[in-house]
């Protein structure tokens, strides 16, 4: 049984209120849950302390036994400080390296080239026309 930490929606139309629950991944959104871990009220004021509440010890327990948070709940747990921030991935590699195949490697001038086109011409044009 895979356990997910996710939202269960309550409230009225256009007035959502969410419970943060630990539930089986195959159960419906508002179906049975294993445990209620807190709540989230998206319409509460920003300075209100009743916008979100969590049972920190129970959330830590469910995460330690392998429960996977949904994307929305993961964002809330990051803001609450229960999850470490995701690693920052730099675009590209270290300087001096290239992701273009063999551009840094030396190739012999006549490496199976019988077509009479020099490698410099291919590099300046960008492609070779037969």
Q: Is residue 111 part of a domain?
A: no
CA-closest candidate to residue 27, choices 50, 2, 9, 55: 2
Q: Is residue 104 part of a domain?
A: no
* pLDDT tens digits for range 4-62: 999 999 889 999 999 999 998 888 777 788 899 999 888 887 766 688 888 999 999 99
Q: Is residue 114 part of a domain?
A: no
Q: In DSSP terms, which residues pair with 24 in a beta bridge?
A: 3
Query: Model-level pTM?
Result: 0.61
Domain count, the chain: 1
**Does 27 fall in a domain?**
yes
Burial of residue 128 (CB within 10 Å: 0-12, 13-18, 19+) is exposed
Do you know the residue count of the chain? Answer: 130
**What confidence score (pLDDT) does residue 108 get?**
57
- Which range marks the domain in which residue 68 is found? 3-80
Are 1 and 24 in contact, with CB atoms under 8 Å apart? yes
What is the distance between the alpha carbons of residues 59 and 79, in angstroms, rounded to a whole number?
A: 14
Structure letter (DSSP) for residue 90: P
CATH number of residue 69's parent domain: 3.30.1320.10
Q: Is residue 65 in some structural domain?
A: yes
Query: pLDDT (tens digit, 9 = 90+) per residue, 61-117?
Result: 999 999 999 999 999 888 888 888 888 887 765 666 555 555 555 555 555 555 565
Confirm whether 109 is domain-assigned. Answer: no
Q: CA nearest 37: which of 24, 53, 20?
A: 20
- Specify if 129 maps to a domain: no
């Amino acid at each position: 049984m895979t356990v997910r930490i996710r939202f269960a929606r309550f409230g009225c139309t256009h007035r959502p209120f969410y419970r943060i629950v630990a539930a089986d991944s195959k159960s419906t959104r508002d179906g049975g849950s294993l445990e209620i871990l807190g709540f989230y009220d998206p319409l509460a004021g920003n300075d209100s302390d009743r916008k979100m509440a969590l049972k920190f010890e129970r959330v830590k327990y469910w995460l330690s036994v392998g429960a996977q948070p949904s994307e929305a709940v993961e964002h809330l747990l990051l803001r609450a400080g229960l999850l470490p921030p995701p690693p920052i991935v730099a675009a590209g590699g270290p300087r001096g390296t290239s992701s273009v195949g063999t551009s840094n490697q030396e190739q012999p001038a006549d490496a199976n080239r019988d077509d009479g086109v020099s490698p410099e011409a291919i590099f300046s044009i960008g492609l070779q026309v037969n």
